[in-house]
Every structure is written in C-alpha cells, then in structure tokens.
Amino acid sequence: MFLVAGLGNPGTQYSLNRHNAGYMLVDRLAERAGARFERTLKRSFSCTIDCCGKDTVLAKPLTYMNRSGGAVLELLDRFPAPLDCLLIVYDEVALPLGKMRLRRSGSSGGHRGMQSILDVLGTEDIPRLRIGVGVDQPPDDYPDFVLSNFSKSDLAVLDTVLDRACDAVNSWMCEGIEKSMARFNG
C-alpha cells in the first residue's frame, strides 16, 4: 500500500492559494483515476486508487497546514504503510513556480506543515515532493505570500507542473524513488 498526502488548508477560500499546491496535486491524481474524496477519517478526506497493482490512498488533511502531523499519523494508523511508501506533497517557496523536487528524506526547510509531520513521526526519513510556488524575489511576508492566490498566468504554469508531478508520483510508486528522482529532478 502507498499513501500520498497532499498538504493544504481546507475550505474554498484557500482553494487557489499557493499553500494548497499539495491539495491540487492529489485532486489531479484522483481525477485521473476517476476517484472521489470522501471524509473517511476525523482529520482528512481520502480516496483509494490503483497504481502498479497496489492500493494507493490519496489524502487531504483537514487540520490546516501547520498541524498536518496529526492527520498524517491518523492516516498511517488507519492505512498502515511503511514510511518509504508514504509521500508528502507540498508547496515550496524556495523553488520557482514550474519546478518540483522529489526527495527521499531531509529537513522541513522551514515548511511548517512538513515540520509538523516530522515532529509527530519523529524522523526526517519521509519521502516528499515539493512543488515550486516561488517568484524571482523572495516575498517580504512569507505567510501572506503562501496564502495568496495564484494569478491566471501562474495557474497555467501550475497546470503543466501538476501533470508532470502526477507522472512523478506514478513513477515513484512503480519504479522507486531513485529512478524517479533521476528522471524528474533534472
């Protein structure tokens, strides 16, 4: 079993925020598979798809970004998967819009949602896919920036990277992280 958790904030007011890139990706994966999210747990929406002949749970934590760890722990309790079969997908201000990076492990890089997960699970050995939402100049106020909506032109770029990110997630599940990193991080 694989578990892919896309981080974001619940509610329509956040749906086009930069901070919701993780939600957007798992929505795209579910759409490609013809699946629909349902509230199956207290702290998340989820659905199950088939990838490479294995059940894959797609999830959207409902705990708001900074408290994502509790929702991911609840998901792992309900859908037991080894940590190398867990993928966390989230926005990354340090990467320019249109870029993405798949990593086997590492620190949170200051991302509070990812830090919450690392704290709750007690390890940095958690695969993640970071979707770039950054701009040329670092923002003056990071919280305001990540809670701002993508512009129309940004959404066009994001649409392309989300398709590529879906391919990267499928590759991760079917071919493993090393091959996927070599293929998609270039």
Which residues have a catalytic role annotated? 19
CB 126, CB 86: distance < 8 Å: yes
Which secondary-structure segment (H or E) carries 23? Answer: helix 21-33
Amino acid at 39: R
Chain centroid offset of residue 143 CA: 18
- Terminus-to-terminus CA distance in the chain, angstroms? 28
**In the numeric block, which tokens belong to residue 15?**
């749906």
Indicate the length of the chain as a whole number: 186
Give alpha helix (H) positions in 51-126: 68-78, 112-121
Cα atoms in the 13 Å half-sphere on the side-chain side of 69: 17
**In the numeric block, which tokens belong to residue 59?**
């999830």
